[in-house]
Structure 1
Amino acid sequence: MPTQGACSSTFVVFIVVICAVVQKGTCVTPSPTSPTPVQKPCNVRTSCEDCLANVTCLWCMTNNTCSHYPVSSIIPPSSVCSLSQARWGVCWVNFEALIITMAVVVGTILLSVMVCCCCCYCCRKSSSGSPDRDEERLARRREEARQRSDDRRVDRKARHDEIRKKYGLVPDADHPYSKFENE
C-alpha cells in the first residue's frame, strides 16, 4: 500500500507532466499568406527535444532513435521501444511512469466519486428517519389536521348561529316572538 508521501509525489509528477505537455503543445495557426512549414520526418531527428517537438514522434532512450508514434495502439508495443525507455511529450518522463501516474489519478478520482455517492445515499437514507420518527410525524400531522378541522367547525357553527339569530330561527328569551312559540 503506497504511503501518503508516495501518492503526493506521484500527483506532483502527474501535474508537472500535464503542464509540460500543455506548454509544449501550444497551438499556432499559420496565417493564410505564410506557407505551411514542412515537418522533418521522425526518423531523421537526432535529439530527444527535437524528436518530441513533433507530437507524432516517439523517442526511444535505448538506442537514441526517433520513430513515428504507433497510433493504431494506444500504448506503444515493446517491439518499438520498452515503456521504461520510451519518451513522448517531454524527455524527462518515461511512458511507464506516465501510465502509472494516470492510473493512480483516475483511480483516485473514481474512488472519490464512489465514496461521495455512497455518502450522499447514506445521508439521504438516514434523513428519511426511522419508523418511530415517521409514526410520530404522521401522528403530529393528523393532530394538526384535526385541530384545524375543529377550528373550522367552530367558526361555521358561530356563523350559522348568527344567521339563525338574525332571522329569528334560534329560540331564546330575548326574541320578541318567543312567547308565542312556547305556548
Structure 2
Amino acid sequence: MEVLVLISFTLLLIHPGISKVTLRPVTGECSDFTNTSCEQCLENVSCLWCFVGKRCMKYPVESIVPHNSTCPLRQARWGVCWVNFEFLIIAMSVVGGLILLPLVCCCCYCCCKKKVCCCCKKKFHGRDEEDVRLAKQHEERMQQRKERRAGKKAQYDEIRKKYGLIQDSDHPYSRFENE
C-alpha cells in the first residue's frame, strides 16, 4: 500500500496540474466500479483500471507491477486515467535515476576527497608509499654519487700532488718556476 501512495505522490510531482486525484480510503470493492468510468474507479487509490473489458480491479500489491495476464501495461491505468502504466514505470525510473545519480556521484566525490572510501584509500595510499619509496631510492643514489665523486677527487688530488701539479708547500718535489 505504501508503494501505491509513493507512486501517486511521484505522479503528482511529475505533473503538478493534477488536482482531481483524491486519495481516499477504500469505501467499497474495486469490482463495484467495473463497467463505469476510469475516473470513478481511480478515485480509490487501491484500484487499477483496465481499458480491456472496462474492468476495475484491486491493485496487485504483491507483484508491484501488474502481470500482463491481469491487464496489459499499455491498457492499465493507476492514479490518473491519461497516463498508462508502462509510461508511468518508465517516467518514475528516469526520475529516480536522475535523483540517485547526483547523490551517488556526490557521495563518491566527498568520500574520495576525504580519503574515506576504501577504493580511494588504496589508490592514494599506494601512491604515497610508492612516492616515499622512490624518494628514498633517489636520496640513496645521490649519496652514493657524492661518495664516489669525493673518492675520485681525493685520488686525483693524490696524483696531482705526486707529480707537482698542485702547489703544496710541504711537498719535497714541487715544480720550480722560472722567475
TM-score by length of 2: 0.49
TM-score, with normalisation over the residues of structure 1?
A: 0.48
User: Relative contact order, CA 8 A, sep 6+: which one is greater?
Assistant: 1
